[in-house]
Amino acid sequence: MSVNPAVEALKQVLPADQLHLQGTDEFNKLNASYLSALEAEILPAAIVLVKTTEDVSTFLKTIKPFVTSRQTAFAIRGAGQQPLPGCANIQGGITLDLTLLRGVELDIDTGIVSICAGERWGAVYEKLSHHGLGVTGSRSAKGGIGGLALAGGLSFFSTREGFICDNVVTYEIVLASGEVVKCSADDNTDLYKSLRGGGNNFGIVTKYHMKTFKQGPFWGGSVFYYPPSFPDQIDALVHHLNDAQVETHVMISLFFAAQFGAALGLNQLYYTRDVENPPILDPFAKVQPQLEQYNSMRMINLKDAADEQASMSASGIRVAYANTTVKADAATLKAAAEKFTARLDTVKDCKGIVFSLTFQPYPVSLLEKCLSAGGNVTGLTGSSGPLVSILVLMNWENKEDDSKVLGVARGLLEAIDEDAKASGQAVPYKYLNYALDFQDPIGSYGAENKLLLQNILKLETSELILLMLENASL
């Protein structure tokens, strides 16, 4: 694959400061800025920075003949926070970087916030805070707009408002032809539904129009405690899910961190109204014994809550996620925790390792939103819940440990899935942004939704994006 003709063509239509070739200082800076070193190790021939929707359209129109003739290929990068190698970068091709496509505009009359694809959620929250508003966005201020608003996405407010993608009322998208269209529950409805969970498979989304709501300070933070209490926390989580209030957001984790040299439990707890010490969170907030010096429960605003989450995640090292979903069954979750603990010795010697198991609830109130305002393609419904997402997260330093760490994660997830299937607690759904390369998130949406996505792919993208996605899930 020779990208030189494509690069030369792009030089003719883009300013010099928007096209950076491999080996230049700006290229090295941009390519090193991914969340995971696994993604940053991929070296495209060039990185193209776009600042407007028109730039994106120009890029697609210019590069199309070179892609269809297989002289080059390209990838799309938003904030670069998804760690799966190759999802936002491409070896030897051209990476289209959206990080300069900035802007947050609020329509006070409609309550709709318009967010350009290069923004991060921290900037959105800062803008909305001046108006006493919130939006269903990332729990991390560093999170990008696109990955979450196209794949599903959990928010502090998801119990009440649904997945992040279910709160997008209109997408502005550039199709493979370079045409700019908008899609919503009323216009281009099949494309709209496909974008809500289908990822960036259908073009390049440049702007997201989202619902806002009144939001003031709320109660939230983190509680650290010792692993023997984790089974009781699982019982509390399942009980909580079966009697959930829409204002709560709860995550419980078990993790090993090399810096501590030990395993710990972690509860991340939120009650999204102006109520101090809400009793419904007591089973998680008052777990004993806990590390009181690390307890951060307090009244907090949305931006500060997202900043705290961002501070707990490392970047620039090796990062990977894998996930599955099960029914809210205590025995299944306890068995998953036991399998996780049994594998810790295998990875403890990996330099800089953080190896964690997190249970994130999908309450019925969240799942019911999957069918609202045009629906999404995840295949989830209220009748399937309550459910629990099981996330395995890994950070480590050395490339020579890749096969060990990733192999342990795969074996753990496969064992959890096998156990859940045997006990009748398995759920097909795999969250797209947490999926590792051995998983099939699009297939987990069900045959009907996968067929819809494939048909939309053929209709909207033509050969251009099909070639770009020849190794993707669809």
Contacts of 175 (CB under 8 A, 6+ apart): 60, 181, 202, 203, 460, 461
pLDDT band at 357 (very low <50, low <70, confident <90, very high): very high
The domain 104-215 having CATH identifier 3.30.465.10: the answer here is yes
471 by DSSP, 3-state: which?
A: coil
d(CA 19, CA 55): 12
Q: Are 421 and 453 in contact (CB under 8 A)?
A: no
CA distance 223 to 296: 7
* Residue 388: strand, helix, or coil: strand
Cα–Cα distance between 69 and 47 in angstroms, integer? 20
pLDDT at 315: 76
Q: Which helix (H) or strand (E) holds 220?
A: strand 218-225
**What does the block give as tokens for 259?**
């810096």
| 60-95 pLDDT per residue, tens | 999 999 988 888 999 999 887 888 888 899 999 999
DSSP state of 254: E
**Residue 470: predicted pLDDT:** 44
Sign (positive or negative) of CA dihedral 94, 27, 433, 191: negative
Domain 218-300+317-441: state its class: alpha beta
pLDDT tens track for 102-154: 999 999 999 999 999 999 999 999 999 999 999 999 999 999 998 889 999 99
Phi, psi for 189 (deg, rounded to 5)? -65, -35
DSSP-assigned letters across all residues of 389-422: EEEEEEEES-GGGHHHHHHHHHHHHHHHHHHHHH
CA gap 175, 194 in Å, rounded: 14
CB 393 within 8 A of CB 412: no
DSSP SS3 for 442: coil
- Inform me whether the pLDDT recorded for 373 exceeds 50: yes
Task: Report the pLDDT averaged over residues 286-292.
Answer: 96
In the block, tokens 């196209």 appear at: 150
Residue ranges of domains in the chain? 4-100, 104-215, 218-300+317-441
Report the chain's mean pLDDT, rounded to a whole number: 93
Return left, alpha or beta for 396; rule: phi > 0 is left, psi -120 to 50 is alpha, else beta. Answer: beta
Tell how strand 262-271 and strand 218-225 pair up.
antiparallel
Under 8 Å between Cβ of 273 and 246: no
Predicted pLDDT of residue 273? 96
Q: How far is CA 27 from the centre of its chain?
A: 25
> For residue 460, what pLDDT is reported?
62
Asked if 297 and 254 count as a contact pair (C-beta separation under 8 A), the reply is no
The percent of residues in the chain predicted with pLDDT above 70, rounded, is: 96
Q: Which tokens in the block code for residue 25?
A: 């200082």
**What's the mean pLDDT in 372-395?**
94
Radius of gyration, CA atoms only, the chain: 22
Average of per-residue pLDDT across 437-463: 84
Give the confidence band of 455 by pLDDT, cuts at 50, 70, 90: confident
Q: Which helix (H) or strand (E) holds 145?
A: helix 145-151
DSSP result, 146-207: HHHHHH----TTHHHH--GGGGEEEEEEE-TTS-EEEEESSSSHHHHHHHHHH-S-SSEEEE
Is 57 strand, coil or helix?
Answer: helix
Which one-letter DSSP state was computed for residue 36?
A: B
Q: What is the rounded average pLDDT of the residues 276-295?
A: 97
Q: Does position 212 have pLDDT exceeding 60, yes or no?
A: yes
Q: Which residues pair with 390 in a beta bridge?
A: 324, 359
Query: Are 145 and 121 a contacting pair, CB within 8 Å?
Result: yes
Model confidence at 471, pLDDT cuts 50, 70, 90, reads: very low
Its pTM stands at 0.94
- State the pLDDT at residue 457: 78
Amino acid residing at 109: D
Answer for the pair 150, 198: CB distance below 8 angstroms, yes or no. Answer: yes
Assigned CATH for 4-100: 3.30.43.10
306 to 100, 215, 270, 434: CA distances (angstroms): 22, 14, 12, 19
Q: Judge whether residue 298 has pLDDT over 60.
A: yes
Residue with tokens 């109204």: 273
Q: What digits encode the pLDDT tens for the residues 146-203?
A: 888 999 999 999 999 999 999 999 999 999 889 999 999 999 999 999 999 998 888 8
Query: What is the residue whose two structure tokens read 């997260």?
Result: 393
Task: Please answer whether residues 139 and 148 qualify as being in contact, where contact means their C-beta atoms are separated by less than 8 angstroms.
Answer: no
C-beta atoms surrounding 298 within 10 Å: 14
Q: Which residue in this structure is represented by tokens 């599955």?
A: 324
Whole-Å CA distances, 214 to 156, 346, 421: 14, 47, 42
Edge-first strand listing for the sheet containing 46-49: 19-21, 46-49, 94-97, 74-77
134 bridge partner residues: 213
